[in-house]
């Protein structure tokens, strides 16, 4: 983005800031999406159906947490609120225990400030199983 676009946004006030944020968010999502495609994260999907518009935010968050590195995960936290990412992690990744135990412990300890990661992850896994059985 060049200086004239930034000056134009500043002169537009609050609506310009919102438009800039949306443009920034879309660019960041596009970067993460392209990296996921490069990593073959969508190999189980039909190739024609995998577009940025067809992939919802929760799936994008899940795939980034599973397949991409720390820098991309940090980029994810700049895009989405921590509560949304934590909800996706709790509902989609914690139930995948014990396969992703190390990864879940890393997320719990570093990103979500969980005091006792092992107990928290087990509780989330059990809760998921109880919901499935109901």
> How do the domains of the chain map onto residue ranges?
14-80, 82-134
Is residue 19 pLDDT above 60, yes or no? no
Is residue 125 pLDDT above 60, yes or no? yes
- For 13: left if phi > 0, alpha if psi spans -120 to 50, otherwise beta; the answer is left
- Stated pTM of the model: 0.73
Phi and psi angles of residue 115, each rounded to the nearest 5 degrees, phi first: -70, -45
Which residue's structure tokens are 């200086």? 3
What's the CA angle centered on 23, arms 92 and 89, to 5 degrees?
Answer: 10
pLDDT digits (tens, 9 = 90+) for 44-94: 777 777 878 888 888 889 889 988 888 999 988 988 899 999 999 888 888
- Give the distance between the most distant pair of CA atoms in the chain: 58
Q: What is the CA radius of gyration of the chain?
A: 18
The pLDDT value recorded for residue 88 is 92
Q: Distance between CA 19 and CA 69 in Å, rounded? A: 29
Q: Distance between CA 41 and CA 63 in Å, rounded? A: 7
Indicate the pLDDT class of residue 14, thresholds 50, 70 and 90.
low
């Amino acid at each position: 983005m060049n200086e004239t676009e930034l000056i134009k946004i500043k002169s537009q006030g609050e609506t310009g800031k919102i438009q800039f944020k949306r443009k920034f968010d879309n660019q960041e999502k596009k970067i993460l999406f392209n990296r996921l495609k490069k990593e073959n994260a969508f190999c189980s999907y039909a190739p024609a159906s995998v577009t940025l518009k067809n992939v919802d935010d929760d799936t994008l968050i899940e795939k980034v947490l599973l397949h991409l590195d720390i820098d991309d995960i940090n980029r994810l936290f700049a895009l989405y609120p921590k509560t949304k990412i934590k909800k996706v992690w709790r509902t989609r990744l914690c139930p995948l225990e014990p396969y992703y135990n190390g990864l879940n412990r890393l997320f719990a300890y570093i990103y979500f400030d969980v005091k006792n990661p092992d107990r928290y992850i087990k509780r989330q896994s059990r809760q998921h199983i109880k919901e499935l059985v109901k």
